[in-house]
């Protein structure tokens, strides 16, 4: 039986896990609290609490049975917690052959709105991007030393049901942040699952893919379009230097780039269900 263990069995990993579970896979993974772990158990998954610091023998045992490991926890000041605590266990597990890492397009840094692809040398400019690149490199080196397949999936902003401009507008929490010249990609959570599933049969080696939509666009356009299809007033423009933005949110506006997904489509044969935010937001809005 194929057994997937997810470090961070949350929004994105959850969509993939539901698909694989329906195909007979065994799913296990971590949550940050006992309440969240209980919800995972109610979905039929084996679940563990991982605080990013404590080593759990039960997780070590589960990794000894896993065939695939998906890493969906952002790195912190001291690096990737899954790598730091369980990297050796993953590397030494005789059953694990595939390791997937959800990274970020922030590793490319700021291209001033120009195109980047997987051959573009990473030059992160934010702390978030530097941490992501360090984590990528750690897992890649583990793969080279252990002979396991490493899949690095570089993701932009993620949206989908419950986490989109549509949901923000309906909740009255949408902000149309405007920075001249700002452009970026995004990706629907379903398309992340489709792409990840397409990598499960790749041969041993290191594989890197940008997992993005087809239409890099200014962030304010997404909010404006959502308001248009909902028939709601468009929120006023807000400058990204607004002090009420979180440091994480502000860091998104330190970079502007267009990210190519050609390798994803050419090598994996992925056909996006939502090739742009237009199709994605329409589906979420029920149109």
Could you tell me if 188 and 161 are in contact, meaning their C-beta atoms sit under 8 angstroms apart? Answer: no
pLDDT of the chain along its 287 residues, tens only?
Answer: 999 999 999 999 999 999 999 999 999 999 999 999 999 999 999 999 999 999 999 999 999 999 999 999 999 999 999 999 999 999 999 999 999 999 999 999 999 999 999 999 999 999 999 999 999 999 999 999 999 999 999 999 999 999 999 999 999 999 998 888 899 999 999 999 999 999 998 999 999 999 999 999 999 999 999 999 999 999 998 888 776 777 777 777 889 999 999 999 999 999 999 999 999 999 999 99
What are the sequence ranges of the domains in the chain?
3-156+187-212+260-274
Looking at domain 3-156+187-212+260-274, its CATH superfamily turns out to be NAD(P)-binding Rossmann-like Domain (3.40.50.720)
Q: How far, CA to CA in Å, does 122 sit from each of 25, 106, 118, 171, 268?
A: 35, 9, 9, 37, 22
240: nearest Cα among 190, 157, 181, 191: 181
Is the four-CA dihedral 194, 47, 129, 246 of positive or negative sign?
A: positive
Could you tell me if 212 and 122 are in contact, meaning their C-beta atoms sit under 8 angstroms apart? Answer: no
The H or E element spanning position 252 is helix 247-252
Please, which residues bridge with residue 47 across strands?
29
């Amino acid at each position: 039986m194929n057994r997937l263990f997810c470090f961070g069995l949350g929004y994105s990993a959850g969509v993939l896990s539901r698909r694989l579970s329906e195909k007979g896979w065994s799913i296990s993974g971590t949550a940050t609290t006992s309440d969240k772990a209980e919800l995972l158990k109610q979905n039929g998954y084996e679940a563990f609490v991982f605080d990013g610091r404590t080593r759990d023998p039960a997780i070590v045992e589960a990794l000894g049975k896993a065939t695939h490991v998906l890493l969906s926890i952002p790195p912190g000041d001291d690096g990737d917690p899954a790598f730091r605590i369980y990297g050796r266990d993953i590397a030494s597990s005789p059953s694990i052959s595939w390791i997937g890492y959800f990274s970020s397009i922030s590793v490319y840094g700021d291209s001033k709105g120009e195109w980047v692809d997987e051959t573009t040398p990473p030059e992160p400019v934010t702390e978030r991007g530097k941490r992501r690149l360090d984590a990528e490199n750690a897992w890649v080196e583990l793969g080279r030393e252990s002979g396991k397949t490493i899949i690095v999936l570089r993701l932009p902003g993620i949206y989908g049901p419950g986490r989109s401009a549509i949901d923000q507008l309906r909740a009255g929490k949408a902000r149309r942040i405007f920075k001249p010249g700002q452009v970026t990609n995004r990706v629907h959570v379903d398309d992340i699952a489709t792409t990840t599933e397409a990598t499960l049969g790749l041969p041993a080696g290191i594989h890197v893919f940008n997992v993005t939509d087809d239409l890099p666009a200014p962030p304010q356009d997404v909010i404006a379009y959502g308001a248009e299809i909902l028939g709601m007033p468009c929120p006023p423009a807000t400058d990204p230097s607004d002090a009420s933005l979180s440091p994480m949110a502000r860091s998104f506006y330190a970079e502007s780039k267009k990210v190519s997904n050609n390798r994803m489509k050419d090598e994996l044969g992925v056909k996006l269900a939502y090739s742009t935010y237009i199709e994605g937001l329409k589906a979420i809005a029920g149109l």
